[in-house]
Amino acid sequence: MLEQHEIESAFFSVLNDLKEYLEHLTLVGGWVPYIYSNYLWKKKPIKIITTVDIDFGFGDIQGTKKKKTIFDKLSALDYSERHIEIGKMYPVVLYKKGKIPVEFITYPEISRNTIDNLIGRQININKVDRFDFLLNHRCQINISDNRRKVKYGLYCPRPSAFLYHKGATFLDREDELKRAKDLHYMYFILRYAPDEDAILKEVEQYRDMGYLVDTSENLYKYFHRKTAKGCLLVEKEHGPDEFIRDLRNDIFERFSKIIEIISG
C-alpha cells in the first residue's frame, strides 16, 4: 500500500514526464478535487480526496504532430506495461514505477489521427459517451511542483462542469463503489467551493443550454429523501466528520439545492 506522500510524489512526477503534452490534456477523475482544493481554492486543511489512478482526457487536435507520442515518451521512462488482452501485445495501460496507472480517456468520435499523433495507438484508450462536455468546459490552473521548483499550467474541468457531468454520468458506472466516489466528488465541490452560488449559476446555464438533460432525474433517484441511497453512499464514503453533527442531513440539503436548480 502506497503512502499518501508517495502517491503525491508520483503524481507530480507524471506531470513532469508529460509537461510538453499538457496543453493537449485535461486532468479528470479523482485527482481533480485535489487540484481544486490545493491550487484553485487554496484550502489545504481540507481532507483531500485522492486516488491512485491518474486520468487524462483529450480531444481532437488539428495540425499538431509531436516528435514523439506519449507512448514513445513514457515507455522510455520508468513505466511498465500491462496488457489488456492475453496474447495481444497492444493496447496496454502504462503504470508509473509499476504501481500507478496513467490512463487516457476521450469520446467515441475521436479521430484516429489524434490518437496516432498524440497518444500512440499502443496505449489503451477509454472512450466515454458525453465526455466532450468536460473538454469543452475546462480551465487552466497554475500548480507548483516544489520538489522540482517548476510550475505547470494544468487543464482541469471547470468545477461546475465536473460537478454537473458527475451528476449526469454516475449511473453509467456498473460498480457501486465507483458511483459512491463520483457522488462524493460532487459533495466535495458543493461543500468546499468558496463560491457555491457562482458554481450553481453555471450549472443552471448548462441546463438552459440543453447539456446533459438527464442530470436532475438521475440525482433525484438517489437524493429524493434523507434516507435515500445517495445520501447513505456519500455518508459512508466520506466517513466521520468532526465539523458537522448531522452529516447525512448536510449531504441531503446540498444535493437538494442542486436538484432544485437544474429541475427548473
> What's the pLDDT at 234?
97
> What's the pLDDT at 50?
67
> What's the pLDDT at 49?
64
Q: Where are the domains of the chain?
A: 4-157, 160-263
For 27-56, write each residue's pLDDT tens digit. Answer: 999 999 999 999 999 876 676 766 899 999
Low pLDDT (below 50) residues in the chain: none
Which residue type does 165 have?
Answer: H
> What's the pLDDT at 175?
92
How many residues in total does the chain contain? Answer: 264
Cis before 45? omega within 30: no
> What's the pLDDT at 29?
93
> What's the pLDDT at 65?
74
Q: Which three cell numbers stand for residue 124?
A: 489503451
CA nearest neighbour of 69 among 58, 55, 83, 53 = 58
